[in-house]
Chains A and B, each alone.
Chain A
Amino acid sequence: MEAFADVALLSRIQFALTVAYHFLFVPLSIGLGLILAINETRYYRSRKEEDAAATKFWVKVFTATFAIGVATGITMEFSFGTNWANYSRFVGDIFGAPLAAEALFAFFLESVFLGVLLFGRKRVSPKFYMVSAWLVWFGSCLSALWILIANSWMQTPAGGELNAAGNEAVITDFWAAAFNPSIFARYTHTVDALLIMGAFVAMAVAGWYMLKHRHSDFAMKTMRIAAVVGIVTSCAMIVFAHASAVVVWEEQPTKLAMMEGQYETEAPPLYAIGIVDEENQQVIAPFAIPGGTSFLATGTFDTEYPGLNDLAQTEEYSDMVVEDMPVGLVFQSYHIMVAMYGLIMITSILVLIFTFKGGRIRQMRWLQWLAVLSPLWPFIAIQTGWITAEVGRQPWVVYPSVSGPDGVSLLTVDGISMSVSAPELWLTMALFVVVYLILLIGWARVIGRFIKEGPVVDGSSTLDCQLGSDAVAEDVVVEDVVVVAEDAAAKGGE
């Protein structure tokens, strides 16, 4: 079997697996980072013990998730050198700086202030603690910015040129490279998706407690925060997703053609669902809006757009072999992502309405179940969205985009490490599968425990908490008195 010895293919599979796994946890940490910071701000204002307990709960969930995200992120930074040495040589002059900047500006910030969140409740002032929560979240968003600068540069290279020897992309303009044509659209699109993820996980936790009739105050407060964050981020997504699609339309013609399964030049129709028959080069769909995609991108129904076959005839995209293009995968990923967005919007609206309409969600078991299941939508959308973005970029690792500088592009097969053999890749792949599976199970166990425990009011968080627990004790006393009085009244009645 050739595929067993194909270093380029194995390297791609390894990168795909490790990056998809990494991106299970990144959305959770960036999304939950915001929920955590909002919670801590609420505590800072109210100084109620149960709000401190809520923060503590989210800190625990966040930390376990963050740890695995950080750890599997090291894989990504190393993999450029280990598995993609020729790629690293080609792009290092431009691509390395954002990675170094990410570590310098973002990783240090996140890790240091997470240390404060984890161990510093009694050591720092409440204000400092709250600021730390926001700084951790800010750091994670900054980290996303730098890594997306690097990734977007691979999609739409800018600010560089091919060197005289023709074997390296050399930087000519740092700001043009950093703020390349797709960065704004792709950054907002991605980070917004991660915030949706965080909101939906918070919804799920709240919904779970409602179903179990536990921690009902915490559940309702969390549901309110999640409903607001959820609706704002879901609505904003319309703008960001559209901007992303327009960039693909303008800059990455082969990716757009794959997203809509468009082999021939035409005004692209809009499909809701369909199957790509790659052999006969056509889309089989029950219905389609003629020119619909054209309308979404340009506002007119008849803007023609080149199909894959015509694109393969151009000099720019002549390296593409149309028969080998994974059109079906990109088409399905893209359409699943869009479908998931529909579910996200519906869920956001329902949860918003019934959370704020007198808190009716407390009695609505079906909606609680929907909330529990809802993290699946952004989760699937995020994974399929990335498959669309990255598989749609093939067969290039640095894409020859429309506005990109001449010659600054690289085929994926030319980016591999020549000194790494297929058996070594198989060995490390097996190790990744085993280690990552154990980590996933370990993470699920820990998170399961935290959710089972719930937000515990233990009175150890701050000095204020003593007041808090006294207040609780008083409530209990009052309740006891009432019970005793009622008992007495009942007896008196007899």
Chain B
Amino acid sequence: MFEFLSVLWFFLIFILIAGYFVLDGFDLGIGVLSPFIAKNGEERAILRRAIGPVWDGNEVWLLTAGGALFAAFPNAYATTFSGFYLAVMLVLFGLIVRAVSFEFGAADPSWRKLWDVCFFVGSLLPALLLGVAVGNIFAGIPMDAIGDYAGVPLLGLITPFTLLTGLLGLVMFLAAGACWAALKAPLPSPLQERAARLRLPLQVIALVLFVIVSVFALGLVGTEMDPALGVLRWLFAALVIVGLGASMMVGKMQGNDLKAFLAQSVAMIALVALLACSMFPTLVNATADSVGPAITIFNAASSELSLTCMTIITCIGLPLVLAYHVIIYRTFRGRVKPEDLQH
């Protein structure tokens, strides 16, 4: 039972991460794209309204993933958050100024510029650094005997490989943001056109980066992977390519914005699933020179009773969370209309 629960929680953590990447992914992407695709106050307001009712709930996925990691694998939570200290702090400051600038920007015209910059930087930092963090737990970090990070702060986390994973993450978020903007902006409008036109180049770059990162991961990084999951890995890798490809194809035609967004989201989920299958059963890999061993579900999992309680909590909570999401996305379905802009 204990082993089953540990495995279950390994995948549940990645499901929460996938939920975060898909949902907050598009609003992080919009935050970064906003200065480039919104040319005036009204267009900025449309983008604001496109993510306004949902961004806060989307961000909660990250908090849930963090809390779940803390509860299910305390050692992995402690090692990554303290080991990636400055990087986590940059993500944190990003999320803070982003949340606040989103609410303050509209209410304070004379500080508008400052909040707009905060919203951009606050979206860019997490969008880039989350991928860097993923690259590090995959490629491995040096740890001491009790599992504390033993490398150089911040700079030690930035290698060609982790930079590439950071960029891949960023471009995937941007593509998702472009898809969401194209889906929500009024039709026809210059903003909608701009967003829709951005999808293709972003997705092409994502595809190229995905191939480079995969080759890099298989060849140079050489992380050991569970052979039993080999088939799944190929399947999910194919699904990333198919998802991105399908999004590009349908995105070429008018009126397919929802399909383009969904296909992009499938690619994002497949990417996280591929990562999970490449990592299993490890949560944080160790480099060759690491004193401490890799952090796995076997040496980091909480007790059976703790995991059982967490499973019960999830069985009650997750259906509620899904219901809330259905409510909010249904309530605010459809494109943003001019009369929505005064709320």
Residue positions of A touching B, CB distance < 8 A: 60, 63-64, 67-68, 70-72, 74-75, 77-78, 80-83, 85-86, 88-89, 91-97, 99-105, 107-109, 111-116, 118-124, 168, 170-172, 174, 417-421, 424, 427-428, 431, 435, 438-439, 442-443, 445-446, 449-450, 460
Contacts and interface: CB of A to CB of B under 8 A. Distances in A.
A108 B60 contact: yes
A432 to B, nearest CB: 8
Given A74-B95, A88-B74, A446-B107, A104 B148 contact: no
Interface string B197-214: 000000000000000000
Given A78-B66, A89-B74, A94-B306, A120 B332 contact: yes
A contact face: mostly helix, strand, loop, or mixed? helix
Nearest to A66: B103
Contacts of A64: 103-104, 107
In order of increasing CB-CB distance, the 9 nearest A-B pairs are A92-B74, A81-B81, A96-B71, A115-B53, A100-B67, A104-B317, A417-B82, A111-B56, A96-B70
Interface of B: 49, 52-54, 56-57, 59-60, 63-64, 66-68, 70-75, 77-83, 85-86, 88-89, 92-93, 95-100, 102-104, 107-108, 111, 114-115, 144, 146, 148-150, 153, 302-303, 305-306, 309-310, 313-314, 317-318, 320-321, 324-325, 327-328, 331-332, 339-340, 342-343
Contact of B313 (A104, A118, A435): A104
A111 B328 CA distance: 10
A111 B60 CA distance: 8
A41 B154 CA distance: 51
Nearest to A167: B146
A256 to B, nearest CB: 31
Nearest to B333: A123
Contacts of B70: 80-81, 88, 92, 95-96, 99-100
Given A71-B100, A104-B314, A97 B56 contact: no
B78 A88 contact: yes
B52 A103 contact: no
A101 B74 CA distance: 15
A105 B320 contact: yes
B332 A119 contact: yes
A96 B108 CA distance: 38
A119 B53 contact: yes
B317 A105 contact: yes
A442 B68 CA distance: 33
B99 A67 contact: yes
Contacts of B114: 438, 442
Given A88-B78, A97-B309, 6 more contacts: A67-B102, A101-B313, A104-B314, A104-B318, A442-B104, A446-B107
Given A115-B57, A174-B309, A419 B331 contact: no
A314 B118 CA distance: 53
A378 B317 CA distance: 34
A439 B98 CA distance: 11
Contact of B82 (A72, A81, A102, A171): A81
Contacts of A427: 86
Nearest to A417: B82
B148 A431 contact: no
Nearest to A421: B153
A67 B103 contact: yes
B320 A85 contact: no
A102 to B, nearest CB: 7
Given A96-B71, A112-B57, A450 B96 contact: no
A74 to B, nearest CB: 6
B110 to A, nearest CB: 8
B63 A77 contact: yes
Contacts of A111: 56-57, 59-60
Contacts of B108: 442, 445-446, 449
B320 A86 contact: no
B127 to A, nearest CB: 16
The winner among B49, B78, B306 for most chain A CB atoms within 10 A is: B78
Given A64-B107, A96-B74, A446-B108, A419 B325 contact: no
A82 B87 CA distance: 10
Given A74-B63, A86-B78, A112-B327, A93 B303 contact: yes
B111 A442 contact: yes
